[in-house]
Structure 1
Amino acid sequence: MLSTLHEGWAIFEPYLKHYGAIAIFVMIYLESMGSPVPGETGVIAASLLAAKGELSIVSVYVAVLAGAILGDSTGYVIGRLGGNALLRRFGPRIGLTAERLDAVEDRFARGGLWIVFIARFIPLMRQINGLLAGSLAMPWHRFLMAQSAGALVWTSLYTLGPYFFTELFHHLR
């Protein structure tokens, strides 16, 4: 974990210094939409730069929150437009049989709000959260409520935690 943070710091620091909150917005948007981007490492790097006075913590916070909500929403729309057909057609190739997909749909129907909320905190689930919810036709208003709440809590922890507890991250400099 620490080596990942250190490597992430080295990769993201120049981009964050040059492009500021826009860089972290794009990173979180792409990750939340479904791309394999190491968002939480970027958020921590941006928060540490804000703690050093090189970025505004307010702009970092807003960029992360907006990127998370808009990225998840974009993933939802993509999933809603064709995700279920793709899952049914290609899912068996990755072990997602029709029976398993039906079970996932049933689980989503019963506990979708909590699944979407908690998925924000689990790597890989964070990336496919919107795609899956859209593919499984979770009602938009329920998805938006759950993913916005999850994004708010996740953003607060990953942005404000490193910002206020910078001394725990001194070894990254």
Structure 2
Amino acid sequence: MDIINELILQAAASPWLYLVMFATAVIDGFFPPIPSETVLVAAAAVAASTGGTNLWLLCALAAIGAMIGDNIAYAIGRSVGTTRFAWMRRPRVAAAFARAQSTLTRSGAPLILGARYIPVGRVVVNMSAGALGYPWRRFLPLSALAGITWALYSAGIGILAGHWLEDQPLLSAVLGVAFALVIGLIIDRVTAFRRRRRALADDAVIVVPADAVREASPAEVAG
């Protein structure tokens, strides 16, 4: 355990950590398997537990990288659309794109801001924004705000875990990442529930009883 903690401390103190944070935040914006949240939460947890990392610089690089990555996803959607490749036409992926496009036309800003906290969701939403022609002059400031709030939120989770388990960088990093995953899952489930309710509301129709529809009598017309 002591050896692992020492390795973690060395990694946290390395200047390469900032480059790794920036690179993962950029790539994660359009390639979900890269775990930028995990890197940020773990690094913040270790920094809060032992020191040695400039948290403000780490957050700034994460936020800038996230904004760049989100705009790359937007540009990809703008250039290739959402149906060019076979994986985009899979039923679940196509349905996700359709939902995102439908919501963007009604409430684009909340969707773009909220999607930043869902790894796959942000890629789908941002690509849909580009494919749908959502104005880039609106998308850019929204992506910047989303990147900033996401970075502060993720680092905040790590800081809490680091302060709770001081001088235990490995445990603080594991706890912070686990906590972030749980919160991310909750956000995803709540978002899915609200989306289903909205879809049901949009599809609802007023059913008029058959016996209420009849031809008016001459007396009723005259009256």
- Give the TM-score, by structure 2 length: 0.61
Q: Which amino acid is the alignment partner of residue 135 of structure 1?
A: A
Who is 1:3 aligned against?
none
Bigger Rg, which one: 2
1:155 maps onto 2:125 in alignment: no
What is the SS of the residue equivalent to 1:121?
coil
5+ residue gaps, structure 2: 174-223
Number of equivalenced pairs: 163
User: 1: CA distance between counterparts of 2:77 and 2:10?
Assistant: 34
Task: Give 1:96 shift.
Answer: 5.4
Who is 1:47 aligned against?
44
What is the SS of the residue equivalent to 2:29?
helix
Range that drifts further, 123-132 or 25-34: 123-132
Asked if 1 retains the 8 angstrom alpha-carbon contact of 2:101 and 2:129, the reply is: no
User: 2: CA distance between counterparts of 1:94 and 1:14?
Assistant: 46
1:67 maps onto 2:65 in alignment: yes
What is the SS of the residue equivalent to 1:124?
helix
Task: Give 1:114 shift.
Answer: 1.0
User: 2: CA distance between counterparts of 1:101 and 1:165?
Assistant: 35
Who is 2:172 aligned against?
172
Asked if 2 retains the 8 angstrom alpha-carbon contact of 1:120 and 1:150, the reply is: yes
5+ residue gaps, structure 1: 1-8
State percent identity of aligned pairs: 22
What is the SS of the residue equivalent to 1:86?
coil
Asked if 2 retains the 8 angstrom alpha-carbon contact of 1:15 and 1:23, the reply is: no
Range that drifts further, 69-78 or 145-154: 145-154
User: 2: CA distance between counterparts of 1:141 and 1:73?
Assistant: 11
Asked if 1 retains the 8 angstrom alpha-carbon contact of 2:75 and 2:130, the reply is: yes
Asked if 2 retains the 8 angstrom alpha-carbon contact of 1:61 and 1:155, the reply is: yes
User: 2: CA distance between counterparts of 1:151 and 1:39?
Assistant: 12
Task: Give 1:115 shift.
Answer: 0.8
Asked if 2 retains the 8 angstrom alpha-carbon contact of 1:32 and 1:128, the reply is: no
Asked if 2 retains the 8 angstrom alpha-carbon contact of 1:28 and 1:68, the reply is: yes
Distance 1:127 1:106, change over 3 A: closer
**1:122-133 matches, cutoff 5 A:** 122-133=118-129
Who is 1:4 aligned against?
none
Instruction: Work out which of the residue numbers 134, 138, 148 in structure 2 matches 1:138.
Output: 134
1:112 maps onto 2:108 in alignment: yes
Task: Give 1:92 shift.
Answer: 3.7
Range that drifts further, 145-154 or 13-22: 13-22
Asked if 1 retains the 8 angstrom alpha-carbon contact of 2:42 and 2:172, the reply is: no
What is the SS of the residue equivalent to 2:53?
coil
Distance 1:60 1:136, change over 3 A: same
Task: Give 1:93 shift.
Answer: 3.0
User: 1: CA distance between counterparts of 2:80 and 2:117?
Assistant: 26
